[in-house]
Chain A
Amino acid sequence: MMVTTLLRILRRTFPWLLAALVVTPAWPSDFLVHPVSAYSGSIDAILWVTIAISIVFFALVVGIMAFVFFRFRAKKAGEEGVRIHGNVPLEIVWTVVPAIILVALSIWAVDVFNVELNPPESTLIVKVTAYQFGFDFSYYESSPNFQGAQTVTVHNICGNPAAFVKIRSLGVKTHGHFEIPQGVPVRFLVTSKDVIHSFWVPAFMIKRDTVPGLSSDMWLTPTTVGTYPVKCAVLCGPGHDGMRATLKVVPKAEFSSWLAAHKTLASR
Chain B
Amino acid sequence: MADHAAQEPGIPHTQLGHTNPWPFTAGVGLLLVFFGLLPIAYSNPGGWLLIVMGFGLFGIAVAAWLGTLSREDISEARGLTQPEFPRIAPWFTGFLILSEIFLFGGLFASYFYLRNWDYIQTGSLMHFYTGGGSAPVQVWGLFPLLNTFFLLTSSITLQIGEAYLKKGKIAVFQVLLGITVLLGVMFLASQVYEFVNFVTKDHFTLQSGTYGATFFSLTSLHGLHVTAGVILLSYLLGGSFAGQFSAKRHMAVTVIGIYWHFVDVIWIFLVAVLYLRLI
Footprint of B on A, CB under 8 Å?
A: 156, 159, 161
Count: A-B pairs, CB below 8 Å: 5
Shortest Cβ distance from A172 into chain B, in angstroms?
29
With an 8 A cutoff between CB atoms, is B241 at the interface? no
With an 8 A cutoff between CB atoms, is B117 at the interface? yes
| A156 surroundings in chain B (CB, below 8 A) | 120-121
Shortest Cβ distance from B176 into chain A, in angstroms?
51
Shortest Cβ distance from A123 into chain B, in angstroms?
26
| B121 surroundings in chain A (CB, below 8 A) | 156
A161–B124 CA distance with the chains assembled, in angstroms: 12
A156–B117 CA distance with the chains assembled, in angstroms: 10
Q: Is the interface of A mostly helix, strand, loop or mixed?
A: loop
Chain A to chain B contacts (Cβ below 8 Å), 5 pairs: A156-B120, A156-B121, A159-B117, A159-B120, A161-B120
Which residue of chain B has the shortest Cβ distance to A161 in the bound complex?
Answer: B120
Which residue of chain A has the shortest Cβ distance to B123 in the bound complex?
Answer: A161
| A159 surroundings in chain B (CB, below 8 A) | 117, 120
Shortest Cβ distance from B110 into chain A, in angstroms?
15
Which residue of chain B has the shortest Cβ distance to A213 in the bound complex?
Answer: B121
Nearest 3 A-B pairs (CB), nearest first?
A: A161-B120, A156-B120, A159-B120
The 8 A CB mask of B110-122 against A (1 = contact, 0 = none) is: 0000000100110
A161–B121 CA distance with the chains assembled, in angstroms: 8
| B120 surroundings in chain A (CB, below 8 A) | 156, 159, 161
Contact residues of B between 112 and 164, Cβ < 8 Å to A: 117, 120-121
A208–B117 CA distance with the chains assembled, in angstroms: 20
Which residue of chain B has the shortest Cβ distance to A159 in the bound complex?
Answer: B120
| A161 surroundings in chain B (CB, below 8 A) | 120
A111–B117 CA distance with the chains assembled, in angstroms: 30
| B117 surroundings in chain A (CB, below 8 A) | 159
A159–B116 CA distance with the chains assembled, in angstroms: 10
Shortest Cβ distance from A78 into chain B, in angstroms?
35
Shortest Cβ distance from A234 into chain B, in angstroms?
21
Shortest Cβ distance from B120 into chain A, in angstroms?
5
A225–B120 CA distance with the chains assembled, in angstroms: 40
Shortest Cβ distance from B115 into chain A, in angstroms?
14
A185–B117 CA distance with the chains assembled, in angstroms: 30
A161–B117 CA distance with the chains assembled, in angstroms: 10
A156–B121 CA distance with the chains assembled, in angstroms: 7
Shortest Cβ distance from B34 into chain A, in angstroms?
26
A159–B121 CA distance with the chains assembled, in angstroms: 8
